[in-house]
Amino acid sequence: MKKFILASKSPRRKELLEKCGISFTCDPADINETVDLSLAKTEAIRLLAYRKAEEVFKRHREDIVIGSDTIVTIDDMILGKPKNREDAAGMLERLQGRTHMVITGLCILSDQRCYSDVSVAKVTFAKMDRKEIEKYVATGECDDKAGAYGIQGIGGRYVKRIEGDYYTIMGLPLNMVYEELRNQSLY
């Protein structure tokens, strides 16, 4: 019987996949996650998700591997995970009072099929003053998150509006996962 393998060490992706009621194990991909800037951002993130799934699939050829990656973009810039707290504060300053895009790539790979797609959501941040930004950065919540915020945590209080899939913003579009597994008669 095929097992599901999540090609990630992200606690958020693990938590989200558990919400689907899927039994799985984690085996994080170890790849260079540099975004190919010569590609459209949606294609670049779709390719990263595919590369993660492909690398893990080499170790689990009898199983079904789920790979995902997420980027935040604003002003045609990609905001990845902040390098440090100062970088996080700079990202939040750029986002505050504005709308940005969150793009999550998804790849579900098995010996019979490769599903690869992206989900895009728009997020509008409320205005934040410098003190709010510093206080949020000090919580540490933004340290390992693209765009320097977590919508599911304290950062959610700064989100004024979203257009699109909430779970895309968290890093794993659950409905896309469910629909594809159902289409493959795996769920």
Taking only the tens place, the pLDDT of each residue in 24-63 is: 999 999 998 888 889 999 999 999 999 999 999 999 999 9
Which runs of consecutive H residues, i.e. helices, occur in the chain? 11-19, 41-57, 85-95, 130-138, 166-170, 174-183
Q: What is the pLDDT of residues 65-114, one digit of tens each?
A: 999 999 999 999 999 889 999 999 999 999 999 999 999 999 999 998 99
Nearest CA among 11, 131, 120, 116 for reference residue 67:
116
Q: Quick one: tokens of 8?
A: 């990630």
The total number of residues written for the chain in this structure: 187
Judged by average pLDDT, the poorest of 160-164, 172-176, 178-182 is 178-182
* Helix, strand, coil percent content, the chain, rounded in steps of 5: 35, 25, 35
CA distances from 16 to 6, 37, 130 (A): 11, 29, 32
CA distances from 38 to 31, 43, 175 (A): 19, 10, 29
Neighbours of 21 (CB within 10 A): 8
Would you name the residues annotated as active-site residues? 69
Flag whether pLDDT at 186 surpasses 90. Answer: no
Contact 125, 100 (CB under 8 A): yes
Q: Tokens 């504060």 sit at which residue?
A: 89
Rounded Cα distance between 80 and 179, Å, is: 28
